[in-house]
Amino acid sequence: MRYFKHAFGAAMFIVALTALAWFILDTRFLLPVQAAEQAKPIDWLFNLQFKLMAVMFGLIAGLMLYSVIFFRRKRGDTSDGPHITGNTPLEIIWTAIPLAIVTGLALIGAQNLSETQRIDPRALEVKVTAMQWAWKFEYPAYEIVSDQLILPANQQIVFKLNSIDVIHSFWVPEWRVKQDAVPGIEQILRVTPSQAGEFKLVCAEICGAQHANMVATVKVVSEDEFKGWVAQQLTGAVAEDPAVRGEQVLRVNGCIACHSIDGTRLVGPTFQGAYGRQETLEDGSTITVDDAYILESIRQSTKKIVQGYPGVMPSYGEDVISDSQVADIIEYIKTLK
């Protein structure tokens, strides 16, 4: 009878603590909005694991708490507890059950992983270039280059990730999936955005001083809106005004992440008022910012560094920013008085 009372009491503790953890560990409260097809199997598995954790927590903490309260040592009792040696059936049970759970989770995990990587042959290709500290997006099907990621909803996107300097990581939390961008290797990430809206792409790999600011806007729109955006990009791709083209080149290549256009001091010197400015270099000599200096600073970025700034800018060859684009950039900088 006493044994039954304790078993019942301990069971109540276990149930109560399990219920509490079950409620707190619900993915609906813990995870951001679910905005991609690939997020569904991931969230489902997360939820299953959280629920298993809740049961384990209730079982362990419930028994422990019950024992601490009802089986404490009585005042003045200095005797040892009963000496208990092995219990073979119990040991078999507590080895077999966790083994079955872990094996089951591994199988479900493998199945889920293949689900998130399933290939849709009609996927829209987007090339992503990561750099210190900006993102650049290219749509080879339309020959569009953009600093914003605009995507149609309910279509698989195949991201081909690359980096021009160090390792970065492509991550939109609402999509759950994440992939490193590694210099010299093309990494693949497949995402089917299932919800329209505006999201934030963040870099999830510490990559230098401005890592925290390496963000880009992601807009998921309807298919019609996407077609409208493509058409608009195609007609507006080559602007008449060289200064407008120059600004586009700077934005697309992430230059303004480090060189402000309004005089703010960032990682590099501001573009505002830069043209014709006298600058003191690291070695104490002075130069005037002219066409030749701007071209040289793009091609061999660390050759002549303005005093007080870190020489962290990558060099850009003609394959990335052409000579005529440099001329456009110069025209744009001239307008920033």
Stretch that binds ligand CUA, among 24-32, 114-122, 205-213, 256-264 (CB under 6 A): 205-213
- Looking at the chain, the number of H-run helices and the number of E-run strands are 8, 12
Q: Does 250 bind ligand CUA (CB under 6 A)?
A: no
- Phi/psi for 11 (5° steps) reads -60, -40
- The token duo for 89 is 């059936």
Helix-helix angle 323-335:291-299, to 10 degrees: 120
Stretch that binds ligand CUA, among 42-50, 74-82, 96-104, 200-208 (CB under 6 A): 200-208
Q: Which of 10, 126, 157, 203 binds ligand CUA (CB under 6 A)?
A: 203
C-alpha 267/C-alpha 81 separation (Å) is 67
Return the H-helix or E-strand segment holding 11. Answer: helix 2-24
Q: Does 128 bind ligand CUA (CB under 6 A)?
A: no
Task: Calculate the CA 45 to chain-centre distance.
Answer: 20
212 to 241, contacts with ligand CUA by CB under 6 A? 214
283 to 312, contacts with ligand CUA by CB under 6 A? none
Q: How far is the CB of 140 from ligand CUA (least distance, A)?
A: 23
Q: Does 147 bind ligand CUA (CB under 6 A)?
A: no
Q: How far is the CB of 164 from ligand CUA (least distance, A)?
A: 11
Q: Which of 168, 176, 190, 259 binds ligand CUA (CB under 6 A)?
A: 168
* 3-state secondary structure at position 254: coil
Q: How far is the CB of 104 from ligand CUA (least distance, A)?
A: 36
Residues near 102 by beta carbon (within 8 Å), at least 6 away in sequence: none
C-alpha 159/C-alpha 5 separation (Å) is 61
Q: Which of 206, 209, 234, 239 binds ligand CUA (CB under 6 A)?
A: 206
Q: Does 205 bind ligand CUA (CB under 6 A)?
A: yes
Q: Is 116 exposed, middle or buried (0-12, 13-18, 19+ CB in 10 A)?
A: buried
Q: Does 157 bind ligand CUA (CB under 6 A)?
A: no
Residues engaged in binding ligand CUA (CB under 6 A): 130, 133, 168, 203, 205-207, 211, 214
